[in-house]
Structure 1
Amino acid sequence: MAKRIVPEVMREFDVKAGGTNPSPITFDELIENFEKKFVDPEYKGRAISELDSLRQRDNRGNYVRVRDIADKIEDLCESTNEQSEWQMKRYFIDAVDYKIAAAINRVMTWERDSVLLDHLVTVAAREEQSLLAERGAREAFQQGKKFSNYTALIAKPAKYTASNEQPNRKYQQQWRSQSKGEHAPREGQKQGQSTEQSPRDANGQPTGNARNGTRDMSKVTCHNCKKTGHYARNCRSRVESKMMAMEDSNTEIKVLASSTAMNDDDAQPANEAPIAPFTKYVSVPIKLEDQPGFNATIDTGASHTFIHPSLPKRLGVKMVRYPMPRNLKLGTKGSRSKIIGFCYLNWTIADLMTRQRFEIANIDDDVLGGREFLRKHDTVVELNPDRIIIRNTTGRSLRHNKAEAAKFDPKYVPTQAEIDSFQTYLFAEYSDVFVDDKAPLNLPPLRDVQHTIPFINAERADKKQRISYRFPDECMPAFDRCYKKHVEAGIWVPCAAERADPMIPNLKKDGEFRPLVDLRKRNLNTVQQDMPMQDADRMINEVANAEFASTFDLKGAFQQIRIDPDDEDKTPFMTPYGACYTRVAQQGDRNSTVSLARLIEHVFRDQLGRTMYAYADDTKIVSPSWGQHIRDTIEIAETARKHDLRFSREKSLIAPEARDTLGRKIRKGVISIESDKRNAILALPVPTNKKELQSFLGMVEYNARFIPMLMDDTAPLATLTGNVPWRWGGACSAAFEAIKQKLAQEVELATINAQNLAPYSSSPVHLTQPPHQNDVPSNAVKGQYLFLQTDASVEGVGSALLVGENWWNAKPVGFHSRKFSPAEFNYSTPDQELQAFYEASTPS
């Protein structure tokens, strides 16, 4: 490297014998120029990706020592020109085991410039030695090996104090003395004077008689277990009790994450009494800077009033950071957090409007009201029912301003102006995540999940590709723009290939070129990979039930997945400008959808199934309240930024009224078929052959839950799909039109919300027929119930699941129908009705 840089410097500054000319550029500019010339961007991206994914346990589960991690970080940072001490310390903290990282944070504030990486490595190595010693001692004990007090002592990690940052040497000194076979001199004996050792047997027990200083072990009684043959200090039961005490101590024992002896801290001991139920906290709705939708938890044990770190920036207020984060002492021993700064906000709680100072800390709630606010405003907290009473700041007895306790306000809906304001803020703050569709392309980094192309046969049989597509003249300007963008971004690389798949000329609605490659022959030689499990129905129901749901759409989803560098040579395709190979996944590849699903699961593993649902490139963020939704969307954006994923700004919407996905028209609590999908089915002509009929029935069956007793109409049509001659008659035409009429009704299905259901032990009012409009009875317990309706016809059985307060006003959740088998067709009418009930109530 130096041999390449020195000539460049000499040419740049005209270095002469006896001195140098003044530098025409700054040192930073010099470094930047050197980086552009001598640092490979692709290698730098790989190194940064490796730094982000570096962990103490590699992909194979092997344990990596902390000093090896530090050496690896220094090598990677040097190769990427990222030699900032703070940056290397951050990579080191992220890479080591969380137990070791916690010990480092307890000992010192590693963010300080005076704390070097070498010092962190020294502390981490000391903590690592304690953890490994403890694990070895515990495994030895589990295997039935002798576990003496000596082994127990070396298993105890050194204690640290925040004042001097020095370990307690008590156990280490004892370990050194015992490991070297040295003993403290007896009273009256000089240092270094030898002492005669008592003879011992094969088990390490003293032998001999009392005359020569030893005793017969058969006459020795243990004071601990009352058995003979050993001393109390060597009693095995004493060692077991010591181990139990060590396992219960969170301050002196640190269990390595990979240890086989690690216990589940959340498990409840079998012999202990049940844990008392957790009392609900007192939470009230508030306004911050005149914006509703937030909640404050009242905590009489908190000394100050705190706010979530994401809210000050969201609300556009100035945040003052402390030079050094301040410690936040919590009520539980060993739990620590930091206060990073403070801000002033105008907030409204009950009928009180005031300006309050908020300490910024990583709390779970929007706001945490502490004793400072409660005392200042003469606030009284009452329980059962939960409420707070706020008096005037002067302390005079005024009218009480009451606020009922609530977890979230599910009925609150922000104004469209508030939603638009937050969307504008989100897109501006994360402009590198939400990009315009016409933004320049970029080559995604190499991540842990990459697209692979596993061939069935190493050599493809179709080396001589005969298929080609002619590009019309009107496509060439759009293709030229597309070709330049992909080549400049490094996504397409021109090459000379023996075989290349043909590109298909295709234009989008806006006139731009859509890059499509005919990969049918390559797919025939590609192993089909397993698709990760995805529950489309659950995603639809969760999106419909959520109080707030937003849509984030990945921009060019397949182009954000890197191909394994070893498989890039399998991707050549032919363009009007010659052959190229691609470094990202292609649309039409047999396993591109599988790789996309795996990438989404890897990146958003902490949010999927909780606050986020995804199917292919369509992602939905769901939340129970507006304040929670703000935090959830920001968390998704932060995660996408960390992994360099991009969403389409045009297709991403915050809390829209329409939540359509997977061919379903979704509004809050209501699901129906999308109009485009319904109109496409209604526009189909009468089938003229078996293939067209199968296509029609396939589209109808996908929407079967929206069509009651569908089986009655599909029975005559399904017969023609078998191995029978094609005979389209009047019964088939009538069934075909009946299906279209049911689809045209636009049936809307309700969703089941567990929070709205009545208690399991309650039951609704039972009537044999719907009541009169002026005489509608009410249930004893408020809430919705589930009702099951079944029926049997000549052709088969049908059922419907409904939800509502009573059966006469319940709304359908879904329909089911099935054709009778030949044996079931011969059942009696009561048996067929019973079969309908059995099938509807039995899980499929």
Structure 2
Amino acid sequence: MIRELETQGVVNKTHSPFNSPIWPVRKSDGEWRLTVDYRALNEVTPPLGTAVPDMLEPQYELESKTAKWYATIDIANAFFSIPLSVECRPQFAFTWRGVQYTWNRLPQGWKHSPTISHGVIQAALEKGEAPEDLQCIDDIIVWGNTAIEVLEKGEKIIQITLKAGFAIKKSKVKGPAREIQFLGVKWQDGRHQIPTEVINKITVMSPPTNKKETQAFLGAIRFWRMHIPEYSQIVSPLYLVTRKNNFHWSPEQQQAFAQIKQEIAHAVALGPVRKGPEVKNVLYSAAGNHGLSWSPWQKVPGETRGRPLGFWSRSYRRSEANYTPTEKEILAAYEGVQSASEVVGTETQLLLAPRLPVLGRMFIAELPATHHATNATWSKWIALITQRARIGNPNRPGILEVITNWPEGENFGLTDEEEQEQVPRAEEDAPYNQLPAEETCYALFTDSSCRIIGMKRKWKAAV
């Protein structure tokens, strides 16, 4: 492998005061990739402004494309196509069988190689006036409504990258196809889902027998957390065993292990993100005993149930577990509004469906006397939610609160009957002393505004 790289001019023999250990990695096709353990070098390397998009950014962008056909292009050995400055080469030296070598091209394992590679390829595509595409380092995807359209776009991308000095293997070009994988995710009609082979691999995994195996299992499922409602709460028992000195796999861990595999097996596709005045964006948010959950959904005329755009969840941090029930619900709504705005934008109306009414509290200047969160935290909540709520016009505010029973499982999503266009709506419940213990913290009380006038009951909910 090293001889081949030397023949190709990628590496050459050298004498350098620097040296790092090699770390070969076997690729999925069985071939070996020469990487070097540059952890020590990475620690002392100055920071570089990142140009590589977050993994979620291409997903959000691709979700918004109502594409029927896709094609992907994987640039071969992109790092090795980018020359390394002569004065920088000594610090990348490594030794193999008593002979010291260094790189003439951008090495794998150095922390800035992905950023530099992404930027160089992006510049080449822009210079060549490439058709609309999404690029993440050396992976590129194009889309369209017909196979011919996508084929032409793909050929244009290939010509631009070849002209820029990059190489492309025919086996690394996929499509045009109606279903395709990009960055490990399966795409079809603007929706992304977990590939079948990934589901099969996860569902046949045996229960871990030590902390390392538990961490490996969590690593295999963590990327797919957006497909799993209340992911953080489900896997919380598994994280507990990785933090203890002694490994102990109890029935609680076994139940969590079985449940998360079941959730992975039945995970739904997410998206697409649709635009237009007829699209209703509904944000569900809730605070449970162990953490927060929120999920934006979309619904268009003709759909009985909406489509999920993603599921977010997290455990309580530090003092958050001591918040009042209302504060926890506001926190869940706050986190949800941030996530939903990233997915659907800030210019669309958002129907907020928490388990407790929170919007009215945000427009009250005076903080409740029983609050546990700091004044600064309350100010942060109020600033974001009220600002988002005022976007639009009085007839179509940016956030409209909908009080509804929080749906579960396959019933997640508002039906036509449940959907409301006024703020707020609630139902009269049983007397407080008749409620189950787990529901008492979510009970809504009525104050002196609840009264009888004539033969009609006049009331409004107050937390």
TM range (shorter): 0.5 to 0.7
Q: Deviations over 1:540-572 (max 9, x none)?
A: 244453343221111112111110122233343
RMSD, aligned CA:
3.7
Q: Tell me, in whole angstroms, the C-alpha distance in 2 between the residues paired with 1:669 and 1:508.
A: 29
Q: Tell me, in whole angstroms, the C-alpha distance in 1 between the residues paired with 2:324 and 2:300.
A: 34
Residue 337 of structure 2: aligned partner: 841
Residue 711 of structure 1: aligned partner: 232
Could you tell me whether the CA contact under 8 Å between 2:72 and 2:182 is conserved in 1? no
Query: Which structure: greater strand fraction?
Result: 2
Of 510, 529, 532 in structure 1, the residue corresponding to residue 48 of structure 2 is: 529
> Measured at CA, do residues 538 and 839 of structure 1 come closer, stay the same or move farther in structure 2, by a change above 3 Å?
closer
Of 648, 652, 656 in structure 1, the residue corresponding to residue 169 of structure 2 is: 648
Of 786, 790, 804 in structure 1, the residue corresponding to residue 281 of structure 2 is: 786
Q: Tell me, in whole angstroms, the C-alpha distance in 2 between the residues paired with 1:736 and 1:797.
A: 20
Question: Alignment partner of 1:601: what SS?
Answer: helix
Q: Tell me, in whole angstroms, the C-alpha distance in 2 between the residues paired with 1:703 and 1:661.
A: 14
Of 782, 791, 809 in structure 1, the residue corresponding to residue 305 of structure 2 is: 809
Residue 490 of structure 1: aligned partner: 9
Say yes or no: does 1:750 pair with 2:268.
no
Aligned residue type for 1:804: K
Q: Tell me, in whole angstroms, the C-alpha distance in 2 between the residues paired with 1:599 and 1:634.
A: 20
Of 259, 280, 290 in structure 2, the residue corresponding to residue 795 of structure 1 is: 290
> Measured at CA, do residues 668 and 832 of structure 1 come closer, stay the same or move farther in structure 2, by a change above 3 Å?
same
Structure 2 stretches of 5 or more lacking a match? 342-463
Of 86, 98, 105 in structure 2, the residue corresponding to residue 584 of structure 1 is: 105
Residue 667 of structure 1: aligned partner: 188
Query: For this pair of structures, how many residues does the alignment match?
Result: 337
Aligned residue type for 2:53: Q
Could you tell me whether the CA contact under 8 Å between 2:69 and 2:179 is conserved in 1? no
Q: Tell me, in whole angstroms, the C-alpha distance in 2 between the residues paired with 1:797 and 1:507.
A: 40
Could you tell me whether the CA contact under 8 Å between 1:552 and 1:620 is conserved in 2? yes
Q: What pairs up with 1:409-424 in 2 under 5 angstroms?
A: none
RCO higher in 1 or 2 (8 Å CA, sep ≥ 6)?
Answer: 2
Q: What pairs up with 1:318-467 in 2 under 5 angstroms?
A: none
Say yes or no: does 1:555 pair with 2:76.
yes
Question: Alignment partner of 2:5: what SS?
Answer: helix
Could you tell me whether the CA contact under 8 Å between 1:800 and 1:813 is conserved in 2? yes
Q: What pairs up with 1:63-462 in 2 under 5 angstroms?
A: none
Say yes or no: does 1:540 pair with 2:59.
yes
Compute the displacement of 1:692 (Å).
Answer: 4.8
Compute the displacement of 1:727 (Å).
Answer: 5.2
What TM-score, normalized to structure 1? 0.36
> Measured at CA, do residues 608 and 721 of structure 1 come closer, stay the same or move farther in structure 2, by a change above 3 Å?
farther
Could you tell me whether the CA contact under 8 Å between 2:69 and 2:176 is conserved in 1? yes
Compute the displacement of 1:697 (Å).
Answer: 3.8
Structure 1 stretches of 5 or more lacking a match? 1-478, 760-782
Q: Deviations over 1:786-843 (max 9, x none)?
A: 2333344333332322223367422211112233467665666666556544543355
Could you tell me whether the CA contact under 8 Å between 1:494 and 1:580 is conserved in 2? yes
Q: Tell me, in whole angstroms, the C-alpha distance in 2 between the residues paired with 1:654 and 1:631.
A: 11
Compute the displacement of 1:642 (Å).
Answer: 3.3
Compute the displacement of 1:635 (Å).
Answer: 3.6
**Percent pairwise identity:** 23
Q: Tell me, in whole angstroms, the C-alpha distance in 2 between the residues paired with 1:631 and 1:540.
A: 23
Compute the displacement of 1:706 (Å).
Answer: 0.4
Could you tell me whether the CA contact under 8 Å between 2:131 and 2:156 is conserved in 1? no
Residue 167 of structure 1: aligned partner: none
Aligned residue type for 1:568: R
> Measured at CA, do residues 619 and 828 of structure 1 come closer, stay the same or move farther in structure 2, by a change above 3 Å?
same
Residue 598 of structure 1: aligned partner: 119
Q: Tell me, in whole angstroms, the C-alpha distance in 1 between the residues paired with 2:146 and 2:103.
A: 44
Of 534, 540, 564 in structure 1, the residue corresponding to residue 85 of structure 2 is: 564
Question: Alignment partner of 1:593: what SS?
Answer: helix
Question: Alignment partner of 2:177: what SS?
Answer: coil
Could you tell me whether the CA contact under 8 Å between 2:52 and 2:114 is conserved in 1? no
Of 574, 577, 585 in structure 1, the residue corresponding to residue 95 of structure 2 is: 574
Compute the displacement of 1:597 (Å).
Answer: 1.6
Compute the displacement of 1:612 (Å).
Answer: 1.7
What TM-score, normalized to structure 2? 0.61
Could you tell me whether the CA contact under 8 Å between 2:131 and 2:157 is conserved in 1? no
Could you tell me whether the CA contact under 8 Å between 2:296 and 2:311 is conserved in 1? yes
Q: Tell me, in whole angstroms, the C-alpha distance in 2 between the residues paired with 1:615 and 1:713.
A: 31
> Measured at CA, do residues 721 and 576 of structure 1 come closer, stay the same or move farther in structure 2, by a change above 3 Å?
closer
Residue 632 of structure 1: aligned partner: 153
Q: What pairs up with 1:724-739 in 2 under 5 angstroms?
A: 728-739=249-260
> Measured at CA, do residues 635 and 580 of structure 1 come closer, stay the same or move farther in structure 2, by a change above 3 Å?
same
Q: Tell me, in whole angstroms, the C-alpha distance in 2 between the residues paired with 1:507 and 1:724.
A: 32
Residue 135 of structure 2: aligned partner: 614
Q: Tell me, in whole angstroms, the C-alpha distance in 2 between the residues paired with 1:519 and 1:657.
A: 40
Q: Tell me, in whole angstroms, the C-alpha distance in 2 between the residues paired with 1:828 and 1:525.
A: 45
Question: Alignment partner of 1:611: what SS?
Answer: coil
Aligned residue type for 1:645: F
> Measured at CA, do residues 707 and 557 of structure 1 come closer, stay the same or move farther in structure 2, by a change above 3 Å?
same
Q: Tell me, in whole angstroms, the C-alpha distance in 2 between the residues paired with 1:609 and 1:725.
A: 55
Aligned residue type for 1:703: W
> Measured at CA, do residues 523 and 796 of structure 1 come closer, stay the same or move farther in structure 2, by a change above 3 Å?
closer
Q: Deviations over 1:630-651 (max 9, x none)?
A: 5533442343243222222111
Could you tell me whether the CA contact under 8 Å between 1:551 and 1:654 is conserved in 2? yes
Aligned residue type for 1:797: L
Q: What pairs up with 1:472-483 in 2 under 5 angstroms?
A: 479=1, 483=3
Q: Tell me, in whole angstroms, the C-alpha distance in 2 between the residues paired with 1:708 and 1:509.
A: 31
Q: Tell me, in whole angstroms, the C-alpha distance in 1 between the residues paired with 2:197 and 2:209.
A: 24
Aligned residue type for 1:711: S
Aligned residue type for 2:160: T
Question: Alignment partner of 2:157: what SS?
Answer: helix
> Measured at CA, do residues 609 and 838 of structure 1 come closer, stay the same or move farther in structure 2, by a change above 3 Å?
farther
Q: Tell me, in whole angstroms, the C-alpha distance in 2 between the residues paired with 1:509 and 1:827.
A: 48
Q: Tell me, in whole angstroms, the C-alpha distance in 1 between the residues paired with 2:27 and 2:334.
A: 51
> Measured at CA, do residues 680 and 786 of structure 1 come closer, stay the same or move farther in structure 2, by a change above 3 Å?
same
Residue 417 of structure 2: aligned partner: none
Question: Alignment partner of 2:79: what SS?
Answer: helix
Aligned residue type for 1:794: N
> Measured at CA, do residues 512 and 635 of structure 1 come closer, stay the same or move farther in structure 2, by a change above 3 Å?
closer
Residue 48 of structure 1: aligned partner: none
Question: Alignment partner of 1:814: what SS?
Answer: coil
Q: Tell me, in whole angstroms, the C-alpha distance in 1 between the residues paired with 2:284 and 2:30.
A: 52
